[in-house]
Amino acid sequence: MSDALLKLQEVGRDFDVSRPWLNRVLEGLPRQRLRAVDSVSLDVRRGETIALVGESGCGKSTVARLIVGLWQPSRGRIEFDGVEISNPATRAATSQVRRRMQMIFQDPYASLNPRWRVREVVAEPLRVLGLASDEAAIDRRVAELLRQVGLAAEDAEKYPHEFSGGQRQRISIARALSANPEFLVCDEPTSALDVSVQAQILNLMTDLQEKLGLTYLFISHNLAVVSHIADRIGVMYLGRLVEVAPAEDLFSRPQHPYTRMLLDAVPDLEMSGKQRTPVAGEVPNPLSPPSGCAFHPRCPHANDRCRMKRPASVVSGTATVACHAVQEGRI
């Protein structure tokens, strides 16, 4: 695909969660590795909003951090606009590419340095990346950014604690925008906010995307939010991408059994009388994931093949699905 702004190829990331060396020696324990992200391949097209959804611990936030370079992938390759950015050896050379993507975080109370005035928070990327010539230019740019996210230029002199959660999230967005990025990675940007404020931030993000031509990677656990903002949706389970599909198709014709289960579990606000089908079981311990397809212990369609062999991602209609049952036409 030539219009891919970001390409993930078989990206994986392990975390060493072993006990300290002394405990391992004394208690005879082996090293333990947690496979947080496992062979994720994904293309993000210029100008689209792609969402990653899944339950806690499914690896969606890890993918976000791998993309922006907060962590290095253990395996695989990440390309941004045709330049490989996953190799730590070439990190310095790729800094020009990296600055074209920025990140918005979940917790508006932890994402701003409490001791800095808003002006300094928003101006930090300008100073570090050398995007403003002098203090006057910084002042002008900060005021412009604050107005762009729906705050007042005078707010620059205040401290973060003087703002509500929603306003802080606006400040975070202004900081991310000050580096003139093309691509924003948004890690659960509204899940710490109240619904009426969430609506404000989602609308703001939509407006900014239209005005600035941004591309979003939107991480969320809330399918209803995702259905509002995303063009395409990827569903993750235990570090693996199980289904990627255009938003409409994912909601009208979910294919992977896990996607179906997630959709069934969404609370029914319309009160159509539809009963939620509670799913048996919970997400297994990621330290010892099930063999074969990671979802098989909870899957109503699992057979021996699902228990033995891990399904590959295969194109099925408009979607890409990793499921033996779908590929064999059993469901």
Residues 43-72 that bind another protein (CB under 8 A): 55-56, 65, 68-70
**Judged by CB, which is closer to another protein: 87, or 277?**
277
Say whether residue 24 binds another protein (CB under 8 A). Answer: no
| CB 166, min distance to another protein, A | 6
SS3 9: strand
Site size toward another protein (CB under 8 A) is 75
The residues with which 130 forms a beta bridge, in sequence order, are none
Rounded CA-CA distance 229/326 in Å is 27
Closer residue to another protein in complex, CB, 37/39: 37
SS3 75: strand
Segment 106 to 165, residues that bind another protein, using CB under 8 A:
106-107, 110-115, 121, 124-125, 128-129, 164-165
Neighbouring-strand partners of residue 15: 34
Residue 202 neighbours by CB under 8 Å, 6+ apart: 190, 225, 228, 229
* Binding mask of the shown chain, residues 78 to 117, with x at each position contacting another protein by CB under 8 A: -----------------x--xx--xx-xxx--xxxxxx--
Match 């179906």 to its residue by tokens.
260
Smallest separation, CB 150 to another protein (Å): 10
261 binds another protein (CB under 8 A): yes
Given 43, 81, 84, 231, the residue binding another protein (CB under 8 A): 231
Amino acid at 24: R
Per-residue exposure over 269-296, b if at least 16 CB sit within 10 Å of its own CB, e if not: eeeeeeeeeebeeebeebeebbebbbbb
Judged by CB under 8 A, the residue of 136, 278, 288, 329 near another protein is 278
19, 199, 290, 327: which one binds another protein (CB under 8 A): 199
Residue with tokens 């990621």: 286
Q: Is 209 in the site for another protein (CB under 8 A)?
A: yes
- Contact window for another protein (CB under 8 A) among 74-82, 135-143, 203-211, 303-311: 203-211
Crossing angle for the helix pair 165-177 and 135-148, nearest 10 degrees? 130
